[in-house]
Structure 1
Amino acid sequence: MEKYDPEAIELKWQKYWEEGNLYQVREEPGKAKYYCLEMFPYPSGRIHMGHVRNYSIGDVVARFMSMRGYNVLHPMGWDAFGLPAENAAIQHGVHPAKWTYENIDYMRKQLKRLGFSYDWSRELATCDEEYYRWEQKIFIQMLEKGLAYRKKSHVNWCEHCHTVLANEQVEGGCCWRCGNEVVEKELEQWFFKTTHYAEELLEGLEKLKGCWPESVLTMQRNWIGRSEGALIRFPLEGGKEPIEVFTTRPDTVYGVTFMSVAPEYPRLEELVEGNPNKDQVLAFVERVKKQSQRERTMEETEKEGIFTGSYCVNPFTGERVPVYVANFVLVEYGTGAIMAVPAHDQRDFEFAEKYGLPIRVVIQPPGEELDPERMEGAYEEDGVLVNSERFTEMDNREAMKAIVRYMEEQGWGKGAVAYRLRDWGISRQRYWGAPIPVVYCDECGVVPVPEEDLPVRLPKNAPFTGTGNPLEQVEEFVKTTCPKCGGPARRETDTMDTFVESSWYYFRYCSPGYDQGPFSEEAVDYWCPVDQYIGGIEHAVLHLLYSRFYTRVLRDLGYVKVDEPFSHLLTQGMVVKETHRCPKHGWLYPHEVSSDLTCLKEDGGRVCGLKVEVGRSEKMSKSRCNVVDPDEMIKRYGADTARLFLLFAAPPEKDLDWSDQGIEGCYRFLTRLWRFVHTHAGELREGDRVDASALSGPLKAVVRKLHQTVKKVTQDIEKDFHFNTAIAAVMEFLNLLYDTEKKVDWGDEQVRGVMRDAMEKILLMLVPFTPHICEELWEMLGNEPSICLQEWPGYSEKLAQEEEITIVVQVNGKVRARFMATPGTPRERLEEKALALDNVKRHLEGKTVRKVVVVPDRLVNIVAH
């Protein structure tokens, strides 16, 4: 093959790998394992450049660790349940299963064409009955343990998707999937008790420090939201049960002037009983309930409320405290009731100002005296307590503990911890999800489906109209018999949130064909936890938090021994590209823009010609017309070039700005690599190992640079996945080989030996990045395939060492000279040589040397006055 032909080479080696089952692995007790996993994709129909980048990163890691001697598990599958399949059924009349499996077939071909080292024998799709069957069994076990339960709840409801969303799936008051506004609705829902593990999930983050990005740890920490404080009981007038509040500021309890409860507060009816304005209160409550949580809690939202007609008593002061319903109080946090201290909480201050309620200062700032009459806002900082009886003049931080102790002694409450984290609502009113395996019987109540009757399968004849839950409309699915009494029963028509499937798939990969349970415990014990997980940071408080919860559930059910699912996490950046917009035609694809930035769209038979505005780089999207099709890039440049560019253009954790020039540059590099081997294939094949210590001149320089390059590439991959600098080092070394090519006699045995060793090591370093061309050139050098099965090259520190290195000399921190020295020169000799330099002597005239700092092999700094 004269010319580099990526397509022919890549198809040849992909066939070789597949026929030889090159990437299939099994457990090998006694051999170190490495489990490398990229977040699996939703089968939307086509992969995009973000996918290619994610999977290319994972492939480098998997191949590198395999060459380092590890038994590497690197699987792929499909997060296959979800709303788009159902929408396709509504819009095009295609059944979700057919749409999903056809998409899987196409995307699998795309991934195989990219040459990723997946063990395809472990492929799974979460919509397979053999997958969700076990998920249903786990659900029943969670139900038995009290970790799954059903209750009436105010839920986030997307009118567009006709389904419930978990708190984590509401982004800025909108649905994470479709972007439409989310409203609140009261429905019977199934929940997973994530709060049972709140403290453990929080503590577990400490063990992940240095192994997960700090930004992800911070997001999870904030989402779990641990708050220390106190539960205080305020007796309700009329001998009713006290109102219990959670507060993080027990130090302000003497400043309470009113109480606020949420519109959804469960005892609201009791509070308004006997109030002549009851109807007005309930009307206010209904109006506020229609507002989203986000709208109610925004700083700029006006604080509103209404008096319930009830009073409670502050146990610390004996004072009557009016109870209000307030729009800014949420039932989900704490108890749904708060003690209002307007002098020291801004929301309470605004509320008190509006309704003319008292403001009592109980914390004074140091050296200042607050006057409630002149205050323009709440004082929320630390200070000294005033108007607080026995605690007056105490530092407020010390007073917190003292007040809690006193309260506990008096029986008025206790110290407590609250969490922002809420239980995970998993009910979805959709068809294309795992059915929840329970039935409802008038006699027996909620009854789990017996294990022998699992899986509860989705009916194939559900109608897809776009309104309501399709499963409710399938009579033969809904109507069933009670497993307990045999009487008539109704099957649950909600399906599970699709994040349930993705919360445990990494365990199933360990033994995907196992039919005695969710997975083989022996296989999971060998492979898990996942050593390196790779995916987008957008999953920080969704998938990643749910997976950590679900792993603990499986541990407590006796399935797994690990606490954490993923030992290390890499969150890769997005692939972005500049946008183009025509004043008349809107967003344009790159081929619709001329080289001088005018619009090429035709308008009534004529080219538009208007000047195009070039926008900033944004995440690739069809709506912005700035997408790059992976298939097109592979066709034009080959899979190796596409992979190389995505790994070379930016560090993996940073966003990557797509560049046509950049991918062309990577293609030129691979063409140069091909040309060098092809030109010298005969001589290189004849090359034998040489004694590197006996070399001199250009060959010695090649060997030195070779070992320096292997060292750098190894460290760049191992330490921080700095693939871009690793690739740059190999490119630089190839340049040296081209320079040396003209200076040496190829008939010389030493030349052939050095050059063969250099080229083989280049290919070994590049094979994780560009496996196809490396296979072909490895074979061209006369080696047996597969290069993918070779060991990673080693390096010699001695051979990598420069003969002479530059030592910088500073006088009082400023560079004044440089000189050459052999590596390892003693400190005394470096100091002596630096002080003898003419320019250094000039800058030391009239001064006394106070100190000389020597950094071996790098620097001499002379301090003089």
Structure 2
Amino acid sequence: MYLANAPVNWCPGLGTILANEEVTAEGRSDIGNYPVFKRNMRQWTMRITAYADRLLDDLDRLDWPESIKLMQRNWIGRSTGARVRFASIAGEIEVFTTRPDTLFGATFMVLSPEHPLVDALTTKSQHSAVEKYRESARKLNDNERQNDDRKKTGVDTGATATNPVTGEKIPVWIADYVLMGYGTGAIMAVPSGDQRDFDFARAYNLPIVAIQMPPDAWFAAHQIAPTIDCTSWPEAFVGEGTYINSENRNISLDGNRTTSETIAIINPWLEKNSFGESAITYKLRNWLFSRQRYWGEPFPIVYDEHDMPCSVPDNLLPVKLPELMDFKPQTLDPNDELTDPLPPLARVTDWLSVQLDLGDGPKTYRREVNVMPQWAGSCWYELRYLDPTNTERFVDAEVERYWMGPKSAGHTGGVDLYVGGVEHAVLHLLYSRFWHKVLYDLGHVSSEEPFHKLFNQGYIQAYAYRDSRGQTVPAGEVVETNGVFSYEGETVAREYGKMGKSLKNIVTPDEMYDEFGADTFRLYEMSTGPLDASRPWNTRDVVGMQRFLQRTWRNLVDEETNQLHVSDDPAPLELRRALHRCIQGVHQDMENLRFNTAISKLIELNNALTVHVNANGSTPLEIAVPLTQMLSPLCPHIAEELWQRLNVSTAITYTPFPVADPALLISEMIEIPVQVNGKLRTRLSASANISDNDLRELALADPKIVQALDGAVPAKIIIVPKRLINFVL
């Protein structure tokens, strides 16, 4: 962690800065949907980029959905290429490029408007135009600036730089599509091989030099004659072609080579001549770790009289937040991008100043008034769950090794199963991986990753409502009148989306507990569909699960006497078969997180049990015990109550899950389709042990087959034993 002035995402509407991951694609805050601006501020920063390679490479060792791995790979954004230096009057301009093989086609340079060399490069005649352009660029967020559909704009600085491979002077421009936060904030433009550069060159009449000859098919597709004169090209050529115009007195790239072969030639030449070197860069930025609010962990940092940060001694930890009546940050006009933030802790003067002896005598120090983001706690909470009462360490080493240690050589270790939403892909999941790797390197944990297996659950969806300002209103307070929805007398628009705080369309668990009970609520959520699928919420459907639990209870407990009516009488064979089919199915469904189909199998078993109870007046014990066990993971409260009534000595949690008897999974009767000329005519119910001859005779005697054959003798009879019979005429 280090303290530095850095470009940050300043959100005046929230009164705090945000990490890149907390800014939406529209350049607004993910909480509150406020505008976010780029500003330089002094902030504590985590050096997550030092772990970029390990964060990337170790994804291959995790049992995670490929879509989440791809999102993290793209967010980290490792690129291999070269850093190249272009000489200029303001000093060397360094660029990073993944295609150093195209240097001979670099005919101009483009810098970010925020690049530190812009002032020194800009000529007097261009100063006014450059400043005007920089002001307009400052009002755009990064996503707007990089929108490929947006018209490319820029301004000439009036200066030039020297292309290191051609020796030619090329103009230096600024353009808002180049970001200071990615790469070096400067690019070499190769318009013949990059469409964005091509469009920019055409818009501002800049030179375009071909450095790869497209194949004839490319020219034919564009209905032009093959030529190296780019003035007739309708677009940039992006692909593999024969290198041309790519040589000087000391090196030649011309010829039929692959991109990788050509890069292997140019990179050593750049290094030998001190023009550049091979390099790897990342889209991932270091993690801004300061927040200007109250709710967060205080930094154990104080500042001396020279404004230098000092660590608080271990014996004075933890630093605790002061109690405040007003803990809101100083929120500003959402568009006020200039006012400096004033964190709530800065207003607590008696806490802000503290007397400490840090080794050179008692002195007055000033506390750090920023706090850590919410991720400071969520990055390691799974470790604290393992050992929550430990007052000496965040987790005992042996406890962590037992629960989260590697299962075998090469295994990452970590939580066996983490169920979480896809929205955490580049926030919590990436941050916690980084945090855990730091703990691993420091020797505090034996596991290299926090979560070995990840499963993305779907969303619960519900209606939400917005007023004329586009702000969401509480869904529970919306009134419908003749198909028109209103809130506090104002008409609102209805939409459909993920149930959550931001859309104010939550159905609180407390409401469901009060009306239906916790078990019914749990069961309904798991029964609505596959765990990984998004599904609608409908309170009226909850009653179906409530009725299932009521029937299950009545099958074991007499409704009038409240006494158990479970007997030691053996269950009939078909009911036992139904039980063991259910055990087998529920076991497989639980293993694969298919809770909805497991519930369906339990309902099916309970229906068969209801028929038996209605006829016999009680439930066999051999059915009641495993049924209760299978209910337990889904409905723990009712299962625990039934378990106690069944008077089983071992706690239900520690009783081994029932195991299906293979012999009872085989049905005595099977259904066999019968075809005539490949067309299904009927289905036969037959013994599971029926022979081919008996099956033939049974089929020939069936009235539907007799009618279909109409006296004809089959030319051929095809029998797939115990599965199908087909009469061919």
Q: TM-score range by the shorter chain?
A: 0.7 to 0.9
Give deviations 1:631-675, integer Å, cap 9, x for gaps. Answer: 222222211111111111122222231123320111111111122
The answer to whether the aligner puts 1:573 opposite 2:458 as a matched pair is: yes
Partner of 1:558: 443
Partner of 1:642: 521
Q: How many residues are aligned here?
A: 683
Query: Alpha-carbon deviation of 1:384?
Result: 2.9
Partner of 2:73: 221
- Correspondent of 1:243 among 89, 93, 114: 93
Partner of 2:236: 378
Describe the SS at the equivalent of 2:426.
Answer: coil
CA distance in 2, matches of 1:861, 1:469: 81
Query: Which deviates the most, 156-165 or 441-450?
Result: 441-450
Give deviations 1:73-117, integer Å, cap 9, x for gaps. Answer: xxxxxxxxxxxxxxxxxxxxxxxxxxxxxxxxxxxxxxxxxxxxx
C-alpha distance 307-861 of structure 1, shift in aligned 2 (>3 A): farther
Residue identity opposite 2:114 in structure 1: E
Give deviations 1:745-765, integer Å, cap 9, x for gaps. Answer: 56xxxxx6x732122221111
Partner of 1:154: 7
CA distance in 2, matches of 1:581, 1:443: 51
The answer to whether the aligner puts 1:355 opposite 2:230 as a matched pair is: no
Residue identity opposite 1:705 in structure 2: A
- Correspondent of 1:253 among 75, 94, 103: 103
Partner of 1:324: 173
The answer to whether the 8 Å contact 1:343/1:359 transfers is yes
C-alpha distance 579-435 of structure 1, shift in aligned 2 (>3 A): closer
C-alpha distance 637-476 of structure 1, shift in aligned 2 (>3 A): closer
The answer to whether the 8 Å contact 2:190/2:208 transfers is yes
Describe the SS at the equivalent of 2:2.
Answer: strand
Residue identity opposite 2:237 in structure 1: Y
- Correspondent of 2:583 among 700, 707, 710: 710
Counterparts of 1:361-760 in structure 2, within 5 Å, are 361-367=210-216, 368=219, 369=226, 371-389=229-247, 390-397=252-259, 398-442=261-305, 445-460=308-323, 464=327, 466-467=329-330, 468-480=342-354, 483-486=358-361, 487-528=363-404, 529-578=414-463, 589=476, 592-593=479-480, 617-620=496-499, 626-679=505-558, 684-687=565-568, 690=570, 699-719=572-592, 721-742=593-614, 745=616, 755-760=620-625
Partner of 1:267: 117
CA distance in 1, matches of 2:241, 2:188: 20
Query: Alpha-carbon deviation of 1:478?
Result: 3.3
Give deviations 1:51-77, integer Å, cap 9, x for gaps. Answer: xxxxxxxxxxxxxxxxxxxxxxxxxxx
CA distance in 2, matches of 1:404, 1:582: 58
Query: Alpha-carbon deviation of 1:223?
Result: 0.8
CA distance in 2, matches of 1:602, 1:327: 44
Describe the SS at the equivalent of 2:620.
Answer: helix
Residue identity opposite 2:65 in structure 1: P
Residue identity opposite 1:231 in structure 2: R
RMSD: 3.9
Query: Alpha-carbon deviation of 1:340?
Result: 0.5
Partner of 1:139: none
Query: Alpha-carbon deviation of 1:301?
Result: 3.0
CA distance in 1, matches of 2:144, 2:488: 45
Give deviations 1:782-820, integer Å, cap 9, x for gaps. Answer: 545843443211111111111233345789997677556
The answer to whether the 8 Å contact 2:22/2:30 transfers is yes
C-alpha distance 479-621 of structure 1, shift in aligned 2 (>3 A): closer
Query: Alpha-carbon deviation of 1:438?
Result: 2.2
Give deviations 1:800-850, integer Å, cap 9, x for gaps. Answer: 1112333457899976775566668899999999999979999x999999x
The answer to whether the 8 Å contact 1:576/1:617 transfers is yes
C-alpha distance 822-248 of structure 1, shift in aligned 2 (>3 A): farther
Query: Alpha-carbon deviation of 1:530?
Result: 1.6
Describe the SS at the equivalent of 2:608.
Answer: helix
C-alpha distance 228-710 of structure 1, shift in aligned 2 (>3 A): same
C-alpha distance 587-164 of structure 1, shift in aligned 2 (>3 A): closer
Residue identity opposite 2:102 in structure 1: T
C-alpha distance 742-432 of structure 1, shift in aligned 2 (>3 A): closer
Partner of 1:181: 35
CA distance in 2, matches of 1:438, 1:683: 64
CA distance in 1, matches of 2:55, 2:515: 47
Query: Alpha-carbon deviation of 1:853?
Result: 11
Residue identity opposite 1:165 in structure 2: L
Percentage identity across paired residues of the two chains:
38
Query: Alpha-carbon deviation of 1:488?
Result: 4.7
Partner of 2:338: none
Query: Alpha-carbon deviation of 1:767?
Result: 1.3
The answer to whether the 8 Å contact 1:771/1:788 transfers is no
Query: Which deviates the most, 182-191 or 502-511?
Result: 502-511
Query: Alpha-carbon deviation of 1:476?
Result: 3.4
C-alpha distance 269-586 of structure 1, shift in aligned 2 (>3 A): closer
Give deviations 1:115-142, integer Å, cap 9, x for gaps. Answer: xxxxxxxxxxxxxxxxxxxxxxxxxxxx
The answer to whether the 8 Å contact 1:775/1:785 transfers is no
The answer to whether the 8 Å contact 1:581/1:588 transfers is no
The answer to whether the aligner puts 1:802 opposite 2:667 as a matched pair is: yes
C-alpha distance 444-485 of structure 1, shift in aligned 2 (>3 A): farther
Give deviations 1:697-755, integer Å, cap 9, x for gaps. Answer: xx211111110000000100012x11100001110111112233455x56xxxxx6x73
Q: Which has the higher helix share?
A: 1
Query: Alpha-carbon deviation of 1:676?
Result: 2.0
The answer to whether the 8 Å contact 1:436/1:494 transfers is yes
Query: Which deviates the most, 151-160 or 441-450?
Result: 441-450
C-alpha distance 741-602 of structure 1, shift in aligned 2 (>3 A): same
Query: Alpha-carbon deviation of 1:625?
Result: 6.9
Describe the SS at the equivalent of 2:386.
Answer: coil
Query: Alpha-carbon deviation of 1:522?
Result: 2.1
Partner of 1:51: none
The answer to whether the 8 Å contact 2:293/2:328 transfers is no
TM-score normalized by the length of structure 1:
0.71
Query: Alpha-carbon deviation of 1:479?
Result: 3.2
Partner of 2:147: 298
C-alpha distance 476-409 of structure 1, shift in aligned 2 (>3 A): same
**Gapped regions of structure 1 (runs ≥ 5):** 1-147, 693-698, 747-751
TM-score normalized by the length of structure 2:
0.83
C-alpha distance 406-809 of structure 1, shift in aligned 2 (>3 A): farther
The answer to whether the 8 Å contact 2:473/2:487 transfers is no
The answer to whether the 8 Å contact 1:385/1:396 transfers is no
CA distance in 2, matches of 1:405, 1:809: 75
Give deviations 1:168-220, integer Å, cap 9, x for gaps. Answer: 11012111111111111111111111111111001111111xx2222222211
Q: Which has the higher contact order (CA 8 A, sep 6+)?
A: 1
CA distance in 2, matches of 1:433, 1:495: 5
Describe the SS at the equivalent of 2:121.
Answer: helix
Query: Alpha-carbon deviation of 1:154?
Result: 0.8
Describe the SS at the equivalent of 2:84.
Answer: strand
CA distance in 2, matches of 1:568, 1:169: 25
The answer to whether the 8 Å contact 1:810/1:860 transfers is yes
Residue identity opposite 1:645 in structure 2: Y
Describe the SS at the equivalent of 1:175.
Answer: coil
